[in-house]
Amino acid sequence: MKAPDFAYVRPASLDAALALLAEHGEDAAPLAGGQSLVTALNMRLASPRLLVDLNAIPDLAGVSEEGGQEGGFVRIGAMTRHRDVGTASVVRERLPLLAAAMPHIAHPAIRNRGTIGGSVALADPATEWPACCLAAGATIVARGCHGERRIAAEDFFLGLYATALEPGEIVTAVEFPVPGPDAVWGFEELSRRHGDYALVGLAATGRRAGGRLTDLRLAFFGVADRPVLARAAAAAVEAGDVAGAQAALAGEIDPPDDPATKAATRRHLARVLLGRVAGRLREDAAPIGTVRGGGLDGV
């Protein structure tokens, strides 16, 4: 099957792109990496009359640290490719959670072309970046014809492929607060084959001092219509009750039930991942600045 006919424009400025999106409304779609949009076009699941290509717009890509250690953040431009996010030195030093998650994203060809902004804006509930945004307390920067907005990740993901973006807005950057020296993190994902969508995944951040965990954020993905911050489970882990945390998940996640994977299976896998990640955070959590696990071969 081939994509329906559409017009194509490649503006050289953000203002020009936003003007086109505002002018054409629902008939226009922004094109970032295209790894999801092109598939949807070819399957006739999407049929915009105009594609607005964002790839020629300066300053929408790149990774930088701003604001210093105290209260600082890492700003990742929306058009930054998945691979460039995970391999950037500032990300590996300051945000190793993202570096650990990146190799799980699909396959090398997609990681080399897809963008963090496109992934966040699509809001697929089984993908890595939205959950990492939630776990890390990120801020989504959006721009439209009426100006710029900063939206907390907790307020951004509203449902299946649904976000807080208003008509005509696009994601321009994602800002991640720089964790302190006592920060810890964990990432686990289960899929049938490497590169498949996650059956269940977990991105976690927190702080550890004197053997105790605090400020724990457990962001599950693949278990509902959006990434889920499991607050009751996090509180139980902080109290040292991992079994209680696993039991608490029953009231916090709502996995889809489909012919390939039953909801009960996803709930079981979520408990397994929680046990693994909680154990590592409590006993031998990696400090910020250390990327643990499989390295970056083939990314």
Asked if pLDDT for residue 297 goes beyond 60, the answer is no
Encode pLDDT of 49-93 as tens digits. 999 999 999 999 999 998 866 679 999 999 999 999 999 999 999
Average pLDDT over residues 241-268: 94
Distance CA 36, CA 137 (A): 25
Distance CA 49, CA 6 (A): 5
pLDDT band at 289 (very low <50, low <70, confident <90, very high): very low
Q: Which domains does the chain have, with CATH numbers?
A: 7-53 (3.30.43.10), 63-177 (3.30.465.10), 183-283 (3.30.390.50)
pTM, two decimals, is: 0.92
Asked if pLDDT for residue 38 goes beyond 90, the answer is no
The C-alpha angle 9, 16, 118, rounded to 5 degrees, equals 70
Q: In 3-state terms, what secondary structure has residue 92?
A: helix
pLDDT, residue 70, reads 64
Number of C-beta neighbours around residue 64 at 10 A: 12
Which of the residue ranges 175-179, 180-184, 233-237 would you say has the lowest mean pLDDT?
180-184
Encode pLDDT of 193-221 as tens digits. 888 889 999 999 999 988 789 999 999 99
Asked if pLDDT for residue 293 goes beyond 70, the answer is no
CA–CA distances in Å: residue 73 to residues 63, 118, 129, 266, 288: 11, 21, 17, 34, 14
Assigned token pair, 222: 């693949």
pLDDT band at 167 (very low <50, low <70, confident <90, very high): very high
pLDDT, residue 299, reads 36
Count Cβ atoms within 10 A of the Cβ of residue 133 and give its class: 0-12 exposed, 13-18 middle, 19 or more buried: buried
The size of the chain, in residues, is: 299
Q: In 3-state terms, what secondary structure has residue 67?
A: coil
